[in-house]
Structure 1
Amino acid sequence: MSLPLTGPASAQPTAAPRADAAHNRRKILDAAATIVSEQGPEALTMNAVARASGTGVGTVSRRFGDVSALFSALLDDREQRFQQAFMAGPPPLGPGAPPGERLRAFLHALADRVIEQRDLLLAGEAASPMARYHHGAYLGLHTHTAMLIRQLRPSADASLLAHLLLAPFAPSLITHLTRDRTRTPEQIKNAVDELLDSLLTTG
């Protein structure tokens, strides 16, 4: 004897729309990231994202509102992925490695992230230069860096050292180094290693 669809089973029709919405959101964000990476942030329009993602302009607008909100969502999405990697990913970036190794892996990963997403991050920095230091994303990076420094140098001013270690990763400086000075990611990471080695061997 068949049973009527009640309880959890009756909720199945709403599962598909939620899954479709999440899938569309992912497609839109991935398409937006590709446009910024390949054409620059000025090419990011609702029409361009709709075409690249295979969705309608109305869908993009309903999901994100306008280009400014789409920029913010894209930044948050990339930041959440990065935070997940250094907070819960495999070592040495994630937990399980000695603090010195974790800090080095973290700074290298941060260099790669800023270089890869410099146009997107630079657009956000240009809109409000000082806002970076009050944003939850930067505060998360700073808290993590200070925690590792504190483990390495308990008597040091970990908060100040964390700010100074993160300073070279300002999007404007990374853009200047990689574009104007043609420095490679490897050269930047080697220079970061020299700064870090001074911290680890002093005091």
Structure 2
Amino acid sequence: MSDDEQRGGGAGAVHRADGLLGDLQAADERPVAPRRRADAERNRAQILAAAERLFAEQDPRSVTMDRIAKAAGVGRATLYRSFPDPSSVAVALLDEHERRLQGQLIHGPPPLGPGAPADERLAAFYLAMLDLLERHLPLALGAETGPARFRTGAYGFWRVHVRTLLVDHGVEDPDPLVDIALSPLSPELFQFQRHELGLSVERVGRSLTSFARRLLRSGNGS
């Protein structure tokens, strides 16, 4: 053993000390990322809960980022790290509800899911969407009004679904009909019919069921 090693000094001791210090620093740093992720998830949950209250309590189009940050008890920078604008917050809230419906369209029982004639599936889709709008209209108004509606992932999914039904029914040129078929599900139109005209969901649903059958009956030239 060298004199340096006996004294606990020398290059070997320095390397061991450096290694130990590095290990201690790494041990101190390892929990930081999970803590940061937990903080971010907690902030996100606070933001979404506060925003959902605001969207329900007032005109969703009047909700601002300042109001959301104040209601959530977070700073503006924290809010903007997660969401660029109020509509993106509404989209995140609405997304969970829409994903459940999307799963039913793909894997659920007929007539909403596969296995029923196209006109019955379209009618079932209309009824399911009316139910979603009835329960979550403030979120839909905050997320999917005006031209922004056509750019959401959910609208793209509904568009593919309806186009598939038109093709399955034998419609030769389905593309012009897809958005026409989806137009009755505009949140703004639903709000007008329900809250200004006073139409019931059941009454609107009966009309859309009839519309679905007429659309697909005439769509293939039959």
Q: TM-score, normalised by structure 1?
A: 0.72
2:211 is aligned with 1:195: yes
- Residue 144 of structure 1 is matched in structure 2 by 161
How far does residue 92 in structure 1 lie from its aligned partner after superposition?
Answer: 4.2
1:150-178 per-residue CA deviation (whole Å, 9 max, x = no partner) reads 22x12443323322211111222212111
Q: What is the CA RMSD across the aligned residues, in angstroms? A: 3.4
Distance 2:114 2:165 in 1: 12
* Counterpart pick for 1:32 among 36, 44, 51: 51
Amino acid at match of 2:192: H
2:108 aligns with one of 82, 86, 90: 90
Q: Please say if residues 146 and 158 of structure 1, whose CA atoms lie closer than 8 Å, have aligned partners that are also in contact.
A: yes
Encode CA deviations 1:116-148: one digit per residue, 9 max, x unaligned.
Answer: 44444445666xx34533554423221111112
Which has the higher Rg, Structure 1 or Structure 2?
Answer: 2
Percent identity of the aligned residues?
27
Residues of 2 paired with 1:172 and 1:73: CA distance?
Answer: 18
Between stretches 92-101 and 22-31, larger displacement belongs to 92-101
Letter in 2 for 1:145: V
Go from structure 1 to structure 2 and tell me whether the alpha carbon gap of 1:201 and 1:164 turns closer, same or farther (over 3 Å shift): same
Rounded to whole Å, the distance in 1 between the matches of 2:193 and 2:107 is 29
Query: 1:161-200 alignment to 2 at 5 Å?
Result: 161-200=177-216
Of 138-147 and 12-21, the range deviating more from structure 2: 12-21
Distance in 1 (alpha carbons) for counterparts of 2:157 and 2:204: 22
Q: Which residue of 2 aligns with 1:57?
A: 75
C-alpha contact 1:31 1:49 (8 A) present in aligned 2: yes
Rounded to whole Å, the distance in 1 between the matches of 2:52 and 2:148 is 22
1:110 Cα shift?
A: 1.7
Give yes or no for the alignment of 1:17 onto 2:2.
Answer: no
In structure 1, stretches of 5+ residues that fail to align are none
Deviates more, 1:15-24 or 1:95-104: 95-104
Where 2:198 maps in the other structure, the secondary structure is: coil
Runs (5+) with no aligned partner, structure 2: 1-22
Change (3 A) 1:116 1:84: closer
Could you say what secondary structure the match of 2:36 adopts? helix
CA distance in 1, matches of 2:142, 2:31: 42
Q: Number of residue pairs matched?
A: 190
